Structure 1
Amino acid sequence: MDTVFSDVVKDVISQYPLKVETIYLLSYKGKKAVWSIATDQGEVIMKKLPMIENDIKFMIHAIDYLRNGGIYTPGVFKTNSGEGYVEHEGEYFVVFEAVYGRNPDYEIEEDMRMIMRGMAAFHKASKGIESPTGEFPSFLLLESKEEMERRYQKLVNWKEEKSKKSEKNAIDKLFLKYVDTCLEQAEKAIAMLANPYFEQWVEETKINKTLCHQDYASGNLVIGNDNNLYVFDMDSLTVELPVRDIRKILNKVMKKETAWNLEKFKNMMKYYQEVNPLTKEQYQILAADLQFPHLFYGQVSKYYEGRDAKWPLRKHFDRIKDMTATELSKDAVLQSFLSQLDEVISHGA
């Protein structure tokens, strides 16, 4: 391990009531880093997080709040002075318990059941949380609609820009072939959010403070050796309608299929419904979020905004083509799902 890193880690860990045996760097991504540290109390995981102090305080408070509500997530070790974090030259470090197990598999039905019930329990347990500093690191809510409108406008702008190009590459042609269909999906999604219940639910959530994890997916979940589902990486928590987490996991699962799968969709929501039941009105808001072409937009923006610039053109092309196929397959499934809502809702707790 780099000597400078080694000195920083040793300095940070010395502020804990732990006797260090070995230190191993697991990952380093500039502003983020993760170490495994063997101590006299077993393995601990230390993370360097790119967060401001108030956000760190909220994250630690949220972890305790969720654990008290029955959610399994690694606990935070306290320093010798009782703090949940260490500040070192403007950077923040947190030491967590180590959890052993495996990531859940979307293809295993029992794993999927654990994921969706776990997400529902997470949302339910987060209800009523307040901030120890009086400030929340993120408070999305109405920004979801504004985000849709911004993304819609970007698609419109790219359409105008690429249409005028005299020489279009393969991605430009693929984008222009499907952008109108995706713009129609976006328009429909935005119109669906004109539902008066949307703002009512937002106002309720401003009071109730339900949290979304924002990446409640297999990579951030572990089925522990004790057979409980643990959720990791609480550094992107936001006060938001639960539909954000639900939409993200549905998109992650469906893009791995050849097309949207109605039965899988219904089963996932039945599992969620067993723990944190949603109403018909709330499912209409979820449908609006799902209606928006988030996958198409995400892949197109990755190329046109130069993210993942190291990717070859072919990889971008193939990903956009795959995401487009997923988007085009969802409309009929979404309508069928809404027509069968009573079957899903009857699974409520």
Structure 2
Amino acid sequence: MSMDPYEESAAVRALSRYPYAVRSVRLLSDKGKKAVWYVDAEDAGGLILKKVPFGTEAIRFMIAAIDYMRGRGLGTPRVHRTSDGGGWAREDGQNYVLFDAVRGRPPEYKIEAELRTLLRGLATFHVASQGFESPTGFYPSYLLTDRETTMRRRVEQLAAWKSAAAGKPNPNGFDRLFLGRADAFVAQGEDALERLRRTGYGDWVRLTHETKTLCHQDFAAGNTAIGDDGRFYVFDMDSLTVDVPIRDLRKILNKVMKRDLAWDLDTMLTMMKAYHEAHPLTKDQYAALVAELTFPHLVYGQVSKYYEGREPSWTEEKHLQRLHEMILTESSKERVLESFLAGLDAWVR
């Protein structure tokens, strides 16, 4: 068997726990606490071995959720069991999980049919997760009740960053660009909170508390695939949380829109109508989505990266350019969101 030298002994020992004859192993990525290998097994075909950076309760939760959603029609790689029936192998203090490999390619945001496939896949994910109960009662993440608290905290943080930047004797280019729009971003945050309060969001939270609907939290082209077999697949279930679907919808909408540095109504309608086909929402739920989208998440994320030093390898120029891009994207959003709300009667009951 050929194998990369990285963590060779631990990975080999982890693979030896499974009932497969392994021909070769190739390291695909290494992010420190996480690592992924492609495994060619003589009697199982292509497999993916993942080193996962969380404990056994969280792994048990993830595997149970995957099994549950697969049983309800979601295309997602199967988790293989060890020779003694376990869901993972533990070696040198690290946990390893073995999955089927998916042969296929990520969908393209720019191809409308594939963008629709992506959003139908997200809807299928949310529907398939409904009714899931953790087998141990343990939920590694439960963000359902955090939305308003998080929004309020982030509005206050934007205001604090504004005050700090304004108090500098020599503000730099990033400070000046942020200060030029900071009041507008704080106002957007306040508007988002007020919009959310005017919807029936609380009813949706109570329903989701009963159904335990899951959000993926990183549902994007890179974590999905259009398989060679024609099926759509979702993978990388490391960050599952209980929440209303607007968490995933907000993130994928922002990912798509920021590529062109502007929101586009036709693209938003294409995405949301595709989602609606598999998981219809009410007008009030779409109003809650618009409230979530009103908050300047993209700008907040970039400003926090800079002022909290979360991207130390980035140059000042890169931080400044990214903030400029996020401002362009956020600035085009209000008109599109208002038009989206105004047109709901045409296709939502």
Say yes or no: TM over 0.5: yes
1:247 corresponds to which residue? 250
2:160 corresponds to which residue? 157
**Paired residue for 2:92, among 89, 94, 99?**
89
| Contiguous gaps of at least 5 residues in structure 1 | none
CA distance in 1, matches of 2:333, 2:5: 52
2:217 corresponds to which residue? 214
Is contact 1:266–1:344 with CA below 8 Å preserved after alignment? no
Please state if 1:324 is matched with 2:327. Answer: yes
2:13 corresponds to which residue? 11
Is contact 1:162–1:172 with CA below 8 Å preserved after alignment? yes
Matches within 5 A, 1:61-100: 61-100=64-103
Is contact 1:23–1:38 with CA below 8 Å preserved after alignment? yes
**Paired residue for 1:304, among 307, 324, 333?**
307
2:237 corresponds to which residue? 234
Instruction: Tell me the secondary structure at the aligned position of residue 225 of structure 2.
Output: strand
Instruction: Tell me the secondary structure at the aligned position of residue 193 of structure 1.
Output: helix
Letter in 2 for 1:56: I
CA distance in 2, matches of 1:246, 1:276: 12
Q: CA deviation at 1:147?
A: 1.3
Question: What TM-score comes out, normalization by structure 1 length?
Answer: 0.97
Is contact 1:269–1:344 with CA below 8 Å preserved after alignment? no
Question: What TM-score comes out, normalization by structure 2 length?
Answer: 0.97
CA distance in 1, matches of 2:267, 2:58: 36
Instruction: Tell me the secondary structure at the aligned position of residue 204 of structure 1.
Output: helix
CA distance in 1, matches of 2:232, 2:238: 18
Letter in 2 for 1:274: E
Q: CA deviation at 1:2?
A: 6.3
CA distance in 2, matches of 1:320, 1:283: 28
Is contact 2:10–2:92 with CA below 8 Å preserved after alignment? no
Instruction: Tell me the secondary structure at the aligned position of residue 161 of structure 1.
Output: helix
Over the aligned positions, Cα root-mean-square deviation in angstroms equals 1.2
CA distance in 2, matches of 1:3, 1:119: 37
Q: CA deviation at 1:344?
A: 3.4
**Paired residue for 2:106, among 90, 103, 120?**
103
CA distance in 1, matches of 2:186, 2:331: 12
Matches within 5 A, 1:232-311: 232-311=235-314
Please state if 1:60 is matched with 2:63. Answer: yes
CA distance in 1, matches of 2:168, 2:12: 56
Is contact 1:12–1:88 with CA below 8 Å preserved after alignment? yes
The number of equivalent residue pairs is 346
Segment of structure 1 superposing worse, 218-227 or 35-44: 35-44
* Percent of pairs with identical residues: 49
CA pair 51-344 structure 1, distance change in 2 beyond 3 A: farther
Which contiguous aligned blocks of 4+ residues in structure 1 show a shift greater than 3 angstroms?
Answer: 1-4
Q: Deviations over 1:184-242 (max 9, x none)?
A: 11000011122361111111111111110011100101110011111110010001000
Is contact 1:224–1:230 with CA below 8 Å preserved after alignment? yes
